[in-house]
Structure formats: C-alpha cells, structure tokens
Amino acid sequence: MDGSDIVLEVKDLVTTVKMGGHEVRLVDRVSFTLRRGRTTAIVGESGSGKTMTALSLLRLLEPPVRVAGGTVRYLGRDLLALTERQMAEVRGARIAMVFQDPLASLNPVLRIGFQIAETLRAHRKMTRAEAERRAVELLRHVGVPDADARAMDYPHHFSGGMRQRVLIASAISCGPEVIIADEPTTALDVTVQAKILHLLDDLRQEAEASLLLITHDLGVVAAMADDVAVMYAGRVIEQADVDTLFHAPRHPYTRALLACAINLEDDRNTALEPIAGAPPDPRRRPSGCPFHPRCPDAIPDCRRIDPPLEAVSAQQSVACIVAQRAMADA
Amino acid sequence: MGHRMAVPLLIRVAIGAALAIIQPTATPQAQAAGTLIWGMPSETDTMDPHATGGWTTYQITYQIFEGLAKEDLTKGDVPTPPLVPGLAASWEISPDGLQYTFKLRPGVTFHDGTPFDAAAVKFNFERFWDKSSPNYYPKAASFVVAYAKWIKGMEVLDPMTVRVILTAPNYEWLRQGLQSYGQPLMVSPAAVKAYGNEGIALHPIGTGPFRFVERQQGVRTVLERNPDYWGRKAQLDRVIFRPLQDPATRVNALSNGEVQMISTPPWDEIQGLVDDGFKLSTNPNVPYINYLYLNMKQDVFKDVRVRRAVNMAIDREGIAREIYRKTGRPEFGLLSPGTDAYDPGFRSYKYDPDAAKKLFAEAGYPNGFKVVFEIPQVGTGELVESWIQRDLKKVGIDVELRKFEWVTYMGRWAGGMGQDIGMNEIGWGMSTPAWINIVARCDTMAPDGQNSGYYCNKEVDALLSQALTTRDPAAAKALYQKANRIIMDDAAYVPIVDDLQPIMLSPKVHGFVNPPEDWFDLSTVSVD
Amino acid sequence: MRGFLLRRLAALVPVLIGVSVVIFLLMHLAPGDVTTTLLGPQATEADRVALRRTLGLDQPVPAQYARWVARIAEGDLGTSVATSRPVAALIVPRFLNTALLAAASLALAMAIGYGAGLLAALRPRSVLDRVLTGVTLLFGSTPPFWLGLVLVLFFALRLRWLPVSGMTDMAGEGGVLDVARHLVLPTVTTALGPAAIITRLVRSSVLEAIGRPHVRVARAKGLGRGALLRRHVILNALPPIMTITGLQLGYLLGGALFSEVVFAWPGLGSLLYDSITARDTPVVQATTLLIALLFVLVNVLVDLVNAALDPRLKES
Amino acid sequence: MVPPDTAHAGVGEGERSDGVGAPAIPPASGRRWRIAAFARDRAAFAAALFLVLVAGAALLAPLLSPYDPAAADNLLRYAPPGTAGHLLGTDAQGRDMLSRLLWGGRVSLVVGIVPVMVASATGLALGLLAGTAGGWTDQVIMRLLDVVFAFPMVLLAIAIAGVLRPGVWTEVISITVVLIPYVGRLARTATLLVASMPFIEAARAAGATRTALLLRYVTPGVLPPLLVYATTLVGLMIVVGSGLSFLGLGVQPPASDWGAMVSEGRIVLRRAPHATVLPGIVIVAVSLAFSFLGDGLRDALDPRSRRR
C-alpha cells in the first residue's frame, strides 16, 4: 500500500478540555490514515474518545474543548491550520459527517427539502429551485419513498430511520471524498440498522469516497470495515486490517473486546466474559499503559512504561510492550 | 424559502430612531404671546357651574360664568372679597329682607351671541330651583341647594328687572350663591336647549371675560379672551389649565418653563423655587381652615375637659412654623377667614401639654386612651397628621391613623363618624360667615349636613339663626363671634392651621392677585 | 391555521366575561358610591336615593351587570359619570396615547433586550456577558417612577434637552417632532424594566438553542456563521422570546401607569386610576375590558406567530 | 413591572418542549441539591449572604436602630448623612433614616416574600392539578388563571385598595393574586413535562397510585424550577410594592417601607437627595441579590445549565 491512495492522514492528534484550571486530554496522540475507496472503523467503548476524534477532524469543537496538537492532512493540506472560512468550504463539500441521533440532528422548524438544498447552495452556485429539485433526487436516491411530497414535510413527520436517510442524503449532496459516520445506526432499531449500513456502503462505493466509521459494535466493524483502529482511554492501542484484527489480535484489550462479541459461527456456547473494571476517568488516567489495571497480561513494567503504537507487521501495529516483546522474540 | 429575518433590521431602525430624537434642542418651548399655562393638582370635573362642587373646577368656571352679584377678586389686601354688581347692575333688598329686586345690566350678550335678559335669568332659576318647570335639572338643584332652599318665589317685572322672594330673611344669601357646591351663575339658555343639561358641561357658554375653546380630558382645558366682555377686558390671549397630579412633576414643569404657575406646591420645595427666582404668592385671609372634628357620640369626648385637653395638646404654632412655614397660620377658632366676621386676634387654647395631661387625669384618664383618627389620602398630608399623632402621644393619647382613598373618605365624612371613630379632619371654609352653620348646627348633623362630629348647642344655633337675619354686618359680626367663643369653649372642634393658598409664579407673570377666596380672577394677569 | 385561530379566539370569550364580572363586583364592593361624587356631600340622603334609582344602582347587581352587557353588545359603552361624556370619546384618545407609549417602550425594550441578550448568549460567561446581564438586571430592579425622576433631573432640568411633562408643548402647535421629544423620557423609564426581562430570556433561550445537536449538524454541513445563526439558532429560540415579548406588551398597556403619572402622559393608565378614585364605573369597566381584550389578543397573536415559526405547535 | 419570563427558569430539553419554553427539568437522576456547586458560584453565595444580613438587620430592628423610627426632630429635618447622631441623616420629618430603613425592611421583605410564598403554593397546587387532571379541569383552571392574568396588576391593586383600605394587606393581597397565574402556568407546564417522562410511566407500571405519583414523583420534579422562579420573583415584588406605595396604596403612616420612603423622598430629590436615594439603593440591591440567588439556585439544581 503505497502512499498515493491516502486521502486523510491524522498524526499525533491531541484534543483537550479545560476542567477546573487544567487541560485534560480526551484524545491522546492519535494517528491513523484514511485510504481512498476504503472504510476505516474506529472502535472502542463509550468514553474512549472516538467521537471526540471525529469532531476534531472537522473542528466542530466548542470551548472549553479544543484541538491542542497534531496534524490532519487532507490532500496535502493541514486542516487544523485553515481559517474558519476555509474550513467551512471543506465541511460538507469535501468531508461530510453523519451523526448518531437522527431525532435531534434535523432542524425541527425547517422543511426536509430545504435542509438538504441548504447544503448544496452553501457550496454550489445554484438557484433555490435547482437545489430543491436536486434535493428531491437525493431523497429518492437514499430510498425515501414519494420523495417529491415528503420533501415538503417537517422532521417530526419522519421515523428515525427515514431521518437518518435524509441526513445521509444531505451528507453526500456535494459528492464529498470523505464521509465520517459517528455511530450512524446506534439510535436505530436493529431491522433498520442493516438497511442504513448497506445504503452507506453502496453510496461510498458509488462515489469512490472513503468512509470513517465510528462504532462500538464489532459486528458492524466486521460487516463494513477494511481497516480498524481500536481506541482505549483516548489512544489508538491497536490498528490493523479487519481480517488480521479479528483473527490475530495482539493487544489484550482487543482480545477482550472480541471475547465479549457474540460469534454466531462458533458453535460452542461459551459464556461471554465481560471485561472487569471500567474505562478510566480522563482526569485520573493510570500511569504507564492506561489499560494495565484491567489487563490480564499486565507485568510490572506496564505500570511504568507508556507503550507507543509500533508496527509489528505491514498490516498491524500495537501499543503494548508485552505484545511487542512477544513479537520480537518470535 | 428560508425565513426572512427582520430582527436585526428592527434593531437598527429602533436605535437609529431613538438617537435621532435626542439631539439637543436647547430652547424651552416657544411662548405664545400672552398665554398663561397653569399646572393644577387635579383634573376638574364637569364645567356646568350649577352641577359641580370642586374648588379646582371653580378656578375655571369663574373665568367663564358670572352671577347676578359678583365677588371682586382683584383686591388682595381686604379681609373679604367685596360684593359688587355682576350681571345685575344694581339690586334693592326690601326692609323685611324678603324681596330682592335686581336691575339687570343692559347690552350684555352670552358668548354665543344670545342676549342676556330677565328671560335668561328666569330660565337659570328654573333650572336649579323650580321643580315644576320643564327646565328643572335635579343634579343642579342638589348642588345649588344652599342658595336655592331660601327661594320662595321669583318673578320677571320687565325684560331687564327680576324680583326674588325669600322664605325668610338671610343677609348672607347673595354671598352664599358665590361659594362652592353649586353656584347660580348665568348659563346661556340657548346653549342648554342646544346641548342639553348633560351636554352643557362640554360646551360651557357664559358671559365672563374668557370664552371656552376646547377641553382634552386629563390633558388641558383652553380658554381665550372674550373680546365683547362688558367689563374690563382680559389681558391674556389664552389660559390653559393643565392637571399635573404628581407634585414633583408640577415643580419640574414650572422650573422647565412648561407651565408659568402652579398651585399647592410641596412646602419643602418652595424655598428652592424662590431661590431660583420664582415668585411665591399667598393671602392671609383665604377661607381655608384645616380642622378636626371630635366625635361627640363617643363617651370619651362627651367630657368637655377631654376635648379641651386635646386642643391644648397640639402645637399649632409649631406645625405652622415647621411645616407650612410662610404658607400657613395657626388657627384657634371655627370662623372662616375671608369673611368680615373673622377676627385674626381670636385665641382659644394655648399649647400646654402638661395642663392637658392634668385635664385628662381629672377627667378620669390618667394614662390616656386610644383613639382612631380617620384621614383622607389627599388631606393635610402625612407631615401634619403624624405631627398631631406625636403631640397626642406625648400626653398619653394613642392615635391610630386610618387613611382612606378620597371618595371613600368623603362618603364616611359626609355620612358622620361611626361609633368606633374618634376624630376625622377636613380643610374647608367659605367667604361667608354663614359657613359655620353648615358644620356646627344641631340641624346640620350628618348625614343631613357636614356636622360630622354631631356637635349640638342650642344657644349656638339660636345665635347663628339670628345673625343670618341681622342686616347690619357689624351686629351680625358680634353674633358670629359670640357663637364662635361658645363653640371653642365647648371645644367640639380642633382648628389647626389656616392654609394661605401658596401659588408659585414664573417671573414672566404679572398682575396676578391672590384674593381672600379659593379661586382667582385671571383677567388682570399678563405674561411677557 | 384557521382552526387554530378560531379555537384560540373562542377561548377568549370566557376570559373576557370573567374579567368584566370581576371588575363589576370590585367596583360595587368599593365603599362610597358614585352619588357622593355626583351630588356632592350637601345632598340629602333622599336625593342620593333618588339618583341611585335613576342610575339603576338600586337594582340587584346581576341585573345591573346584565343591562350593562346588553348595552356593550350594542356598542354603547355608556357615558362617564364624572365628566358626563361618552365613554368611547374619553377612552379612544387616551388609548392611542398609551398605545404610542407602549409601542415605543416595547420597541426600545426589544432593541435592548434582543441585542444585549443575543450578544451575551454568543459569548457566555465572558466579560461582555456579565456586563450586559448585570446592567440590564440593575435597571430591571429599579423602581420605574424613581428612575423617571432621575432622568428628568438630568436630561430635562440640568441639560434642558427634553421636556418634563405632557405629550405635546401646551402652547405650541404640536406635531410629530414635538410628540417625539415628549416621548423620549417616558419611553426610557417604561422600557428598562421589560428590557431586563427580555434580555434574560433571549440569553437563556439562544443559549439553549445553540446547544441543540442540529446546530452542530448544520455547522458540519459547512454553513456560514450568519445562516447558521439566523436559520438554526435564532429561529428555534424565537417562540419563547415571542411569548415573553407578548407578555411585556400586555404589561405595558396597564403597567405604564408610573410613567403616565410622573410625566403627566395622558394615557389609559392614569385615566383608569382617576376614574377608580372617582367611582366612575362605566369608564373603569370599559377601560379594563379594553386592556384585558388587548392583552389576550396580543397573546393570541403571539401564539399565531409561534405556530408559524414552529410547525409542531400548529398541529398541537 | 410584571414578573418575567415564565420560561426563564431554563428551557426544557428534547423535542417535546411546547414552544412556550417549558422550565428546565433536571434529569431524573442526580437531582441532589449540590451545596458545593452553589457555594462555588460566588455571585449567588454573596447574594445569599447579603440577604441573610438584610433579613437579620430587619428582624433585629428594635435592637439595632438607634432611634424610634417614628421619633421626629423638627430641628433636624433633611439632615444629610453623616450628621451627628444620624449616620444616614434624617427624612422630611426629621426621623432617623437608618432606623426607618431597618424597620421599613420588615414591611418590604413581607411584601416581597409572603405574596410569593402564598402564590407559589396556590400556583403549584393549581398547576399540578391542571397538569395531571387534564381535560375539563385543566381548561377551567387555565381560563380562571387567564382572567386574573389579563387583569392589569396596578388596576387590581387600586380596586382592592378601594374595597379594603390602603395598607400593607392591600399590597400583599394584590401582589399575591396577580402572581398566582404566573406561577400556576409555570407549574402546569413543568407538570406536563415531568409527567411525560419515562420514569413516571415506569412508576405507574409499578402500580403507584395517582396521589403517590403526584406527590412522590411529579412534585419533586416541578419544585426546583418553581423555587428558582420564586426566588427571582421576591426581588421584583419589592420593586412592585414600591410602585404601589408611590400610588399611595401601600403601608400607612407612621409605619413605612422602602417603597414609601422612596416615593416620599422623591418630591424633594433636589434638596435632600439622600431621602430617596438611600431606600432606592436598598431596593435595587435586595432585588439584585434575589435575582443572583435565583440564578445560583438554578445552576445548583440543574447541573446541565452550568456548562453554558
């Protein structure tokens, strides 16, 4: 995988929040890359900083939360260095985002058609009529029945699933190269989840865009992702292509996560093993490796050394001294 | 089809407009030549002289209407306003005092051009007196009752002569027709026929030195000079009467040149205004005594020693000096100033709290008693009422002040004090000594008169009745003063202070006369 | 929308009836009746009884109320007892004066309130926020009649810029500029109370709207700051703001009494105050009904505006 | 001035807000009164302290005030602050300003607090009833509240003064009657919001009786915004009370309250400014303190709003 197909490269991203006088790190030196036409998933428990990472890419943070370091290169340009006006031109046009809670993500007092046309007119020279017509086509394209009439309705006339389709239509309206989807289906019921995920995947392939999928559901990762980054306590603790990760997880946390997931293929009715303890509070993060208090393989060094993310093979990197040492010996 | 937002536009417009207005225009209002603007303490009620009772209203109607006889209010240094011919050039009173023959003034017309003659006089008398006449107006009759109840008959001798026959001799009868509560002034019959009894109040047509222009209720009432007036013509082009209830606003309007004259200025602001160059005008004989009634039906006040003690316990001089300053004078009797019967030297009780305490003890109240003192919202004011409360507290009398809104108070005062009420107060008087009848006779006890404290002394009634029928003013004066002495010996009333009717005038006002009456003749006034 | 309007108007009727009944009873319970003002204290009891009969005051209260409502239905507001003038002729000019003062005060209050509230909300917890909120709160806590007098002392008596009393220059010919000059101080005095209230609400309403998820989504769509603020923040913040503005207008109709007394502004409030003290029942009733009617109509208007702004309201 | 922003007590969350700005309902969990949060909010804490001082001074007026408030010394009328023996000077009748402020405080605080408490209790009851009963009861209560709502406050006070007598009770009654609809509406909106929350359905499913539901579940949800609103109202009602004194409808001599002192002194503002400025400042300070206290309470009770 040479560098030419890299669309988005995030290096040592740090995002902090000002709490009681000192800066607390929510995202701690996160790095990953997005390749053209591929889906990268960021997975982790809630509070691991994955949503914060996504919001940092598009600089959608409000005080007291802010991006404190690192670079986000998109087609060679560092987004963090852009002015607010330049960033506005990127948002929605080049990098679009779909959010988690469809119920609250649409403006309740504006018509659906208008809210999609609004995105088009923000980036394209279009008359209102043209934008509205395009909006209806987009609605039809994302599977909203009777799009012509429904465009004139208001958000509260739509179900959760339908609203997510509207948000997706709005996101893809300007043909973005990158779509960030922050837990797009978590708030939906299971039957609708699959449809939305398929829709996202089809649209991504159609536009040859790359998808950054934020989720805590390993099932979704398995179904959708090409590459995966596992986050814990604000850091990426393991990164690999999806097959390597599922079949040869190196980091104890990743293995624990996989153990929690129901594996239909496996006929043994093994009991699910919950991970003891809970993710650390960002204000009182443990020294050394943040996972060591809950880590079954922890060794004394884990408490001292803060493990960097190191490549252990062409497709896999891990931030765990025990794993790194094991690889070195083998 | 996004929503066009007007909010930011609205903000810009509002701020822009507000700024545009505030640019300074330093000159005070341009002053129309010869216009007097008078800031008054309250709005006046209807301008029908037969059917109104307020002093402030007469301050306007006196300029528009005239009676057969008139009080000359152009003289300030006289004890009582001289009675002079008005629309009657002259009149004769029969020896038995029962017949008044009026020779009417020729060549006088009403403001609407209709002639003034005996027929007009007959129409007016029928309106407020003659129940059998179609022109009879019950409301007028009830207001003009003090004058009309003496009339037995009335006849037109010739187009310019009228005779009135009284039921009994009353040598204050003419003067009683020029007091508050219904004045029998001459209203244009044509106007009454045209606008009706109620409508006349909106179209007051009289014969006076000023004519009615317009009224905006609560804003202003405008009069203009009557060029065809039979007597000395007014100097002012126009007079504007403005109700300004709030005392601070009245003072500020005067300082800012928006009015040239205000009445009832707050006492404590007078010195400040005088220092700023404004003129203070008062009159020592204004018929206006502030006095208290004592409830004779209450056991405690049945004992004359208690009543006398109350009179001794209140420091009248202190109140006049400290609160009224140059606009009030201590009063010791119940004869109204502004009358020839009034004796400024009359004294009754000296301020002597110790003697008062002894008297209370003697009467059986060594450690005092509790008394309820009812007061109106716009009476003498809290300064005087709390002073009286403190003075009585010093001699052991615990006074509870109960304040009522004006109309409610009038009802309770006119209806007579209830059993639980010890004292109430009023500020009143008339430029006729006969006023004392209304407040101190047995047969004018409330609710059939204003004797709100139920004081009754047969000897006083006899003296007052005799005085009314005494033609010779000097003899009548002796009788009134004898009655006054008896009343004050009975100490049924507690006179406090005479209000000298302070008026503040802009230095631009000339020729204003503050007479011994509660209203003024504005025809002598000019404004440069 | 029409159904919505009809329903709201129908709800008015019981309210207005209620108001008219309450004021009718209050005026009848008040001791001292109109005959004392009409006939003066010298009248005998017999005269008073006769007058009460002619005015129909001796009939039972419900009968009097019924007769009064019947006359109102025909549009006859009756004649003022104190000034024997038709009530309508008395009320209409005074109402226009109050309407002018109320409109000017509301405009100023909205200008201050919307401006300060929005600025404060856009920089929460900043120095600007604390200053704006603090100053408007300070003015909101000041007794209006006292504020009026301080303004008079400074702007009128010391700087001689503005007049002290009345609506027009008595001797002058009036005219728009003259009224405008007289309008300034009463408007500022009346407006500062409502301005404080509007500022606080605009601030909290806008802050709440900014925090809503769809605003972040709109930002993610790449919308410019202006469009974002107008269509996604302010539009959602408007309904509660409109409601409170309607309430303040309602207050101004009756509440501007202090300015009317301090500045001798011939409005409805001072007419009401005088006619109650003079027991001029027809005027009191008509004025109260007018103020109450305007107050409820303003609130219906606000509901309509809110329904237009927020479709969910229209359907509820 | 009319009490404000029925909606001010924060605006409801979620989409079900009916646009009239329902009050902020603290999330079902974590509703503990967080004294720590309240204490940290310096302004609210200072306000609370100031109010305790003021209330204490008013209560201890007999001990603290150097003179009898009614004792007048005619030689010392309008003595400016700092005159010997009179720290804050004297008023029109030569009475000691400090003593009158202390004694006046008792009346003014009563005029501020009593109506708000009575109106809050009544308003709460009506609001809860209307909110939970719904249907006809709701409509009748709401229309009754609208009748009082449509009544201009000052008119009601004047009419009541005409029926009773000008005095403190007239002030208290008029202010109470006028406040009930404001509190009633707030309580009803809050009730509707709390009643529609999931934990209520859960409680109902668990077999809670209607009254238990009302008392143990709905009321605790409605109380916080009401308490916040009531606190800010007290300050405003003291200002409104001063307006009634200005119209002569308030407390009667020789007793007095801050409002009466301001309106009496106002007439001679130029000659003796302290007579009206001192009580004016006290009214503004106390009213501000109640507003800050209200804000502090709202933040303490509703942590979500602290973020802003």
For D226-245, write each residue's pLDDT tens digit: 888 888 888 888 888 888 88
Q: D248 — contact with chain B (CB < 8 Å)?
A: yes
Does D254 sit behind a cis peptide bond, omega within 30 degrees of 0 on the bond before it? yes
User: Which of the four pLDDT bands, split at 50, 70 and 90, describes residue B499?
Assistant: very high
Partners of B2 on chain A (C-beta within 8 Å) are 110, 114, 118
* Cα–Cα nearest to B327, from B387, B391, B263, B378: B263
Question: What is the average pLDDT across B262-280?
Answer: 92
Question: Over 60: is that where the pLDDT of D25 sits?
Answer: no
Phi, then psi, of D95 in degrees rounded to 5: -90, 150
User: Which of the four pLDDT bands, split at 50, 70 and 90, describes residue D16?
Assistant: very low
Q: D308 — contact with chain B (CB < 8 Å)?
A: no
Nearest CA in chain D to C253: D152
Higher pLDDT, A2 or C136: C136
| Chain C, window 49-78: residues with a beta carbon less than 8 angstroms from a chain D beta carbon | none
Asked whether A10 and A74 are in contact (CB, 8 A), the reply is no
Name every residue whose Cβ is closer than 8 Å to that of residue B137 and which is 6 or more positions away in sequence. B50, B51, B127, B128, B197
Encoding tokens for residue A174?
């300007």
* Cα–Cα nearest to A53, from A93, A105, A14, A24: A14
Please tell me which chains touch D, using 3 or more CB pairs under 8 Å as the contact test: A, B, C
Question: What is the average pLDDT across D82-109?
Answer: 88
Nearest 10 degrees: CA dihedral of C163, C166, C170, C175? 80
Partners of C305 on chain A (C-beta within 8 Å) are none
For C151-179, write each residue's pLDDT tens digit: 888 888 888 888 888 888 877 777 888 89
Higher pLDDT, C29 or B376: B376
Please answer yes or no on whether C26 and D262 come within 8 Å at the CB atom: no
Domain ranges of chain D: 27-60+100-305
Give the CATH architecture of domain C87-315: Orthogonal Bundle (1.10)
Q: Strands of B328-330's sheet, edge to edge?
A: B328-330, B493-499, B289-294, B423-428, B370-376, B398-404
Please answer yes or no on whether A154 and C216 come within 8 Å at the CB atom: no
Q: DSSP secondary-structure letter at A286?
A: P
User: Which of the four pLDDT bands, split at 50, 70 and 90, describes residue C35?
Assistant: confident
How large a percentage of chain B has pLDDT more than 70?
A: 93
Among B89-93, B173-177, C287-291, the range with the most confident prediction by mean pLDDT is: B89-93
Query: How far, in Å, CA of A55 to CA of A15, rounded?
Result: 10
Residue type, C195: A
Partners of D10 on chain C (C-beta within 8 Å) are 204, 208
The pLDDT value recorded for residue D3 is 45
Please answer yes or no on whether C222 and A123 come within 8 Å at the CB atom: yes
Question: What is the average pLDDT across B322-345?
Answer: 91
Q: Would you say how long chain C is, in residues?
A: 316
- CA distance, residue A19 to nearest chain D CA (Å): 11
Among A137-141, D149-153, D215-219, D296-300, the range with the most confident prediction by mean pLDDT is: A137-141
Asked whether B29 and C168 are in contact (CB, 8 A), the reply is no
Question: Over 80: is that where the pLDDT of D300 sits?
Answer: no
Query: How far, in Å, CA of B69 to CA of A93, rounded?
Result: 99
Nearest CA in chain C to D142: C15
- CA distance, residue A183 to nearest chain C CA (Å): 14
Sign of torsion over alpha carbons A40, A43, A47, A48: negative
Partners of A110 on chain B (C-beta within 8 Å) are 2
The pLDDT value recorded for residue D122 is 93
Asked whether D75 and D94 are in contact (CB, 8 A), the reply is yes
Query: DSSP per residue over B296-349, as a string?
Result: TTSHHHHSHHHHHHHHHHS-HHHHIIIIIGGGEEE--SSSPSSSTT--TT----
ipTM of the complex: 0.81
CB atoms within 10 A of CB B225: 17
Does D66 sit behind a cis peptide bond, omega within 30 degrees of 0 on the bond before it? no
Q: B402 — contact with chain D (CB < 8 Å)?
A: yes
Mean residue pLDDT of chain A comes to 87
Question: Over 90: is that where the pLDDT of C106 sits?
Answer: yes
The pLDDT value recorded for residue B8 is 46
For A77-96, write each residue's pLDDT tens digit: 899 999 988 998 999 899 99
Encoding tokens for residue C138?
């300070």
- Class for the domain spanning D27-60+100-305: mainly alpha
Sign of torsion over alpha carbons C235, C236, C241, C246: positive
Please answer yes or no on whether C170 and B449 come within 8 Å at the CB atom: no
Query: How far, in Å, CA of C188 to CA of B19, rounded?
Result: 12
Encoding tokens for residue C119?
């600025």
The pLDDT value recorded for residue C316 is 65
Please answer yes or no on whether B252 and C180 come within 8 Å at the CB atom: no
Please answer yes or no on whether C311 and A118 come within 8 Å at the CB atom: no
Query: How far, in Å, CA of B22 to CA of B19, rounded?
Result: 5
Among C124, C142, C255, whose Cβ lies nearest the Cβ of D308? C124
Asked whether B87 and B68 are in contact (CB, 8 A), the reply is yes
Asked whether C90 and C81 are in contact (CB, 8 A), the reply is no
Question: Which neighbouring-strand residues pair with B261?
Answer: B38, B505
Helix (H, G, I), strand (E, B) or coil at B18: helix
For B404-454, write each residue's pLDDT tens digit: 877 778 878 888 898 999 999 999 888 889 899 889 999 888 877 789 999
Question: Over 70: is that where the pLDDT of B24 sits?
Answer: no
Encoding tokens for residue B105?
């003034």
Sign of torsion over alpha carbons D32, D37, D43, D49: positive
For A23-47, write each residue's pLDDT tens digit: 888 898 999 988 888 999 999 888 8
How large a percentage of chain C has pLDDT more than 90?
A: 18
Name every residue whose Cβ is closer than 8 Å to that of residue C290 and which is 6 or more positions away in sequence. C91, C95, C268
Partners of A103 on chain D (C-beta within 8 Å) are 15
The pLDDT value recorded for residue B17 is 42
Residue B449 C-alpha from the chain's centroid: 17
Question: Over 50: is that where the pLDDT of D27 sits?
Answer: no
Q: How far is CA C173 from CA B32, B442, C96, C170, in A?
A: 10, 56, 19, 8
Among D72, D162, D269, whose Cβ lies nearest the Cβ of B390? D72
Question: What is the average pLDDT across D254-280?
Answer: 84
Helix (H, G, I), strand (E, B) or coil at B375: strand
Asked whether B510 and B526 are in contact (CB, 8 A), the reply is yes
B516-527 burial, b for 16+ CB within 10 Å, e for fewer? bbbbbbbbbbbb
The pLDDT value recorded for residue B514 is 94
Q: Would you say how long chain D is, in residues?
A: 308
Query: How far, in Å, CA of D189 to CA of C269, rounded?
Result: 32
Question: What is the average pLDDT across B308-319?
Answer: 94
Partners of C234 on chain B (C-beta within 8 Å) are 5, 7
Q: B1 — contact with chain A (CB < 8 Å)?
A: yes
Among A124-138, C212-226, D185-199, which stretch is predicted with the lowest mean pLDDT? D185-199
Query: How far, in Å, CA of A188 to CA of B352, rounded?
Result: 95
Q: Which of C37, C39, C52, C94 to mutate to test the interface with B (most CBs of B within 10 A)?
A: C39
For C247-299, write each residue's pLDDT tens digit: 888 778 766 888 888 888 988 888 888 887 777 888 888 888 888 888 888 88
B178: buried, middle or exposed (CB in 10 Å: 19+, 13-18, 0-12)? buried
Q: Which of D11, D13, D15, D17 to mutate to test the interface with A (most CBs of A within 10 A)?
A: D15
For C50-82, write each residue's pLDDT tens digit: 778 877 778 888 888 888 888 888 888 888 877
Sign of torsion over alpha carbons B18, B22, B28, B32: negative
User: Which of the four pLDDT bands, split at 50, 70 and 90, describes residue B380?
Assistant: low
Q: B2 — contact with chain A (CB < 8 Å)?
A: yes
Q: How far is CA C236 from CA A166, C214, D21, D116, in A?
A: 20, 11, 11, 31
The pLDDT value recorded for residue A11 is 92
D25: buried, middle or exposed (CB in 10 Å: 19+, 13-18, 0-12)? buried
Q: How far is CA D46 from CA C127, D53, D286, D301, in A?
A: 19, 11, 12, 18
Question: What is the average pLDDT across C21-26?
Answer: 83
The pLDDT value recorded for residue D188 is 87
Mean residue pLDDT of chain C comes to 85
CB atoms within 10 A of CB C45: 12
Nearest CA in chain D to A101: D14
The pLDDT value recorded for residue C254 is 66
Among B21-35, B480-494, C17-31, the range with the most confident prediction by mean pLDDT is: B480-494
Query: How far, in Å, CA of C156 to CA of B26, rounded?
Result: 10
The pLDDT value recorded for residue B18 is 42
